[in-house]
Amino acid sequence: MNAERKKTLEKTTLTVRKDIVRMIGVAKAGHLVSSLSVVDILVYLYWEKMRIRPEQPLWSDRDRLVLSKGHSCAALYAVLANRGFFDRDELWNYRRLGSMLQGHPEYPRTPGVDAPSGSLGMGLGIAGGMALALRLDSKNSRVFAILGDGELQEGSVWESAMTASHWRLGNLVAIVDLNGVQMEGSVSKIKGIEPVAAKFEAFGWATVKCDGHEMESIEKAMNDALSNDRTPTVILAVTKPGKGVTIAEKFRRRPAEPLGRHSMEEALGELENMSEDYAEETESGEPYEKYP
Amino acid sequence: MKSTRDAFGEALLKLGSLREDIVVLDADLASSTRASAFSGQFGDRFFNVGVSEQDLVQSASGMALCGKVPFACSFAAFLVTRAFDQIRTTVAMPGLNVKLVGTHGGITVGEDGITHQATEDIALMRSLPNMNVLVAADAVAARELTFLSAEIEGPVYLRLGREPVPEVYENSERDFEAGGGRMLKEGDGVTFCTCGIMVNEAIKAAEILEKQGINAEIIDCYSIKPLPEQLILSSLRRTGCCVVAEEHNVIGGLSEAVARLTATGFPVPMRSVAINDRYGQSGSPKELQEYYGLTYREIVGAAAQVWALRRRS
């Protein structure tokens, strides 16, 4: 990955993180920690890898993405808005009555959202069904499913894992956001899921590990996954809960704790400072004060 | 005599040859659900996902999201209850074009006993917005309702039975429609709202009542949701009383659907012939029908009661 591309992607992740903080701040609710942990993976996919047409969200030859950990939808919405699927102003209606951006992803309500989610454990199976149907139609589209690590405690995930390997769904890539936290605390303490790689391998999947915040590492893992068309591949992306925002990272906020006005200002200030490292590329920059 | 599941299997095969977009998924019971006929001819469009009802529904939803028209088949008891969250979240909420086919509905599954007898499936499926709920009375209805399911744009639950049932409809019958019901016999004494195997019992009951001077009107409510409301209400205005007969728990099924309709639309005395909020057990289908009071006798008794109280306007 050349330095310029890397820099552009990283700059984009900061824009997305700022939007997430604003969305969750304005909505006074939302899953900040797990939205922040998945940002880099989503940005990489939507800007680098996925064949999509934002102006034609239901284009039949597109790649699909199922955000099985639907509670992180603030990240997906911010990515879709910045990628041009819908007007960025919609982000400030997140979780509001009548909004296009519901508390968990709804289909067909939001342009760019390829599948419903919110009840955990279902996205891998939906993605598997998509992969089967696409293969049946001889389409080259790929399907990406993003799962949480706590979500692996749902039995239905493993039904789908078995189905996908049985049908040799080489056009399916699962990504597990290993941020290590779930609703009531750390995954390892509540119901440990390790060894995750060995579990998926035993289910017939290829596994690749990556640093879920390093663009080059994500790219390498994606390329490995997409070059394997014999079996489904799972990318085990090690991430940091609340990545990029100190108050979310450091103080181990509870996953769905709302963000107060003061904390929001602090988080935005921090992200703004980081953005200054990329200042030369920023076209004057939209001042975040413009938004509530 | 032919079972509704047999007719479904044949209709599915026909659909497969007519439409490329039809795919069939099954959770390792295709020989019993009769989806096996389709798998024999269209192997590339048939998927046995194994003993995994949750993934059966998830996979079907994924395929519907990519333009297929999936029929997801299993025993009603397993499909509806094991995968209820999947049906709710991935089929009903997004209104996807998934056809859920539950065979072995009701207690006439027989000797397999309570785990295999679905007596709450209609209640669960009725409670989901966007869901169409269809019940087949005989083989012809099963065939036509299978075709109808494929035509409806959106979620459908089709309930079928295991045992062969006597013919209700002529083989030439067509024109089953979403939200429809069929007037099988006209009469001015009492209205029978029925579905599934109880249609035949209602026909027998009507013959007995005829001799006693009560002329029963029989409606096959093959679409439980949406309910054929106008057909039922106009019948009640003629007869002034109603008996509902269904092979399902008295809670949440056709009885309550009709009760709500009459209470809000045209209140009349009503009785239910249904399973009285308890589970089934092993036994032959015939024994079970008698033990749980799902025969023409109970319908005759209920009809006599409501007829005596009928609303006269």
Q: Which domains does chain A have, with CATH numbers?
A: 3-279 (3.40.50.970)
Count how many Cα atoms sit within 13 Å of the Cα of residue B263 in the half-sphere of its side chain. Answer: 7
Chain B contact set for A115 (CB, 8 A): 61-62, 65, 90, 94
Are the CB atoms for B119 and B288 separated by under 8 Å?
no
B45 to A163: CB separation less than 8 angstroms, yes or no: no
For strand B46-48 and strand B156-159, is the pairing parallel, antiparallel, or unpaired?
Answer: unpaired
CA gap A174, A161 in Å, rounded: 10
Look up residue B168 and give its amino acid: V
Residue range A91-120: average pLDDT?
97
Q: Which of A55-64, A98-107, A272-281 has the lowest mean pLDDT?
A: A272-281
B54 to A126: CB separation less than 8 angstroms, yes or no: no
Chain A contact set for B63 (CB, 8 A): 129-130, 132-133
pLDDT at A278: 82
pLDDT higher than threshold 90 for residue A208:
yes
CA dihedral B13, B99, B50, B21 (to 10 degrees): 50
Residue (of B154, B141, B52, B49) closest to B99 by Cα position: B154
**Rounded to the nearest 10 degrees, what angle do helices A3-27 and A261-275 cross at?**
170
Phi, psi of B224 (to 5 degrees): -80, -30
The alpha-carbon gap from B18 to the nearest alpha carbon of chain A, in Å, equals 17
Number of helices (H), then strands (E), in chain A = 11, 7
CA dist A130 → A143, A212, B63, B141 (Å)? 7, 25, 5, 32
A122 to B90: CB separation less than 8 angstroms, yes or no: yes
Residue range B226-241: average pLDDT?
98
When CB atoms are compared, the residue of B52, B58, B85 closest to A129 is B58
Chain B contact set for A132 (CB, 8 A): 47, 59, 62-63
- The residue of A71, A154, A163 whose CB has the most chain B CBs within 10 angstroms, and thus the best one to mutate to test that interface, is A163
- Which chain B residue's Cα is nearest to A63? B66
Tokens 């296009």 map to which residue? A100
**Rounded to the nearest 10 degrees, what angle do helices A123-136 and A155-166 cross at?**
20
* B64: CB partners within 8 A, 6+ apart: A129, B70, B91, B96, B97, B98
Residues listed for chain A:
292
When CB atoms are compared, the residue of B45, B66, B86 closest to A122 is B86
When CB atoms are compared, the residue of B47, B58, B94 closest to A108 is B94
Q: Which two tokens stand for residue B261?
A: 């309709």
- The residue of B26, B58, B85 whose CB has the most chain A CBs within 10 angstroms, and thus the best one to mutate to test that interface, is B58
The alpha-carbon gap from B212 to the nearest alpha carbon of chain A, in Å, equals 56
* B55: CB partners within 8 A, 6+ apart: A125, A128, A156, A159, A160, A162, A163, B49
Domains and CATH numbers, chain B: 4-159 (3.40.50.970), 182-309 (3.40.50.920)
Are the CB atoms for B119 and B106 separated by under 8 Å?
yes
* Segment B249-288, tens digit of pLDDT: 999 999 999 999 999 999 999 999 999 999 999 999 999 9
Give the number of A-B residue pairs with CB atoms closer than 8 Å: 107
CA gap B203, A33 in Å, rounded: 63
The alpha-carbon gap from B16 to the nearest alpha carbon of chain A, in Å, equals 15
The alpha-carbon gap from A244 to the nearest alpha carbon of chain B, in Å, equals 32
Look up residue B160 and give its amino acid: L
- The residue of A136, A138, A147, A203 whose CB has the most chain B CBs within 10 angstroms, and thus the best one to mutate to test that interface, is A136
pLDDT at A251: 63
CA gap A252, A269 in Å, rounded: 19
Give the 3-state secondary structure of residue B275: strand
pLDDT at A252: 61
| pTM score above 0.90 | yes
B49 to A126: CB separation less than 8 angstroms, yes or no: no
Look up residue B150 and give its amino acid: A
* B7: CB partners within 8 A, 6+ apart: B136, B138, B139, B140, B142, B143, B146
CA gap B268, B15 in Å, rounded: 42
The alpha-carbon gap from A27 to the nearest alpha carbon of chain B, in Å, equals 23
CA gap A241, A177 in Å, rounded: 10
When CB atoms are compared, the residue of B45, B62, B85 closest to A129 is B62
A117 to B50: CB separation less than 8 angstroms, yes or no: no
pLDDT higher than threshold 80 for residue B68:
yes
Res. A279 pLDDT band, cuts 50 70 90: low
Count how many Cα atoms sit within 13 Å of the Cα of residue A60 in the half-sphere of its side chain. Answer: 11
Give yes or no: B186 in active site.
Answer: no
A125 to B85: CB separation less than 8 angstroms, yes or no: no
pLDDT at B168: 98
Look up residue B198 and give its amino acid: M
Give the whole-number percent of chain B exceeding pLDDT 70. Answer: 100
B55 to A163: CB separation less than 8 angstroms, yes or no: yes
Q: Which of B10, B20, B53, B210 is catalytic?
A: B53
* Segment A19-63, tens digit of pLDDT: 999 999 999 998 999 999 999 999 999 999 999 999 999 999 999
Task: Report helix, strand and coil shares of chain B as percent, to nearest 5.
Answer: 45, 20, 35
The alpha-carbon gap from A34 to the nearest alpha carbon of chain B, in Å, equals 21
| Residue A277 zone, left/alpha/beta (φ > 0; ψ -120 to 50; rest) | alpha
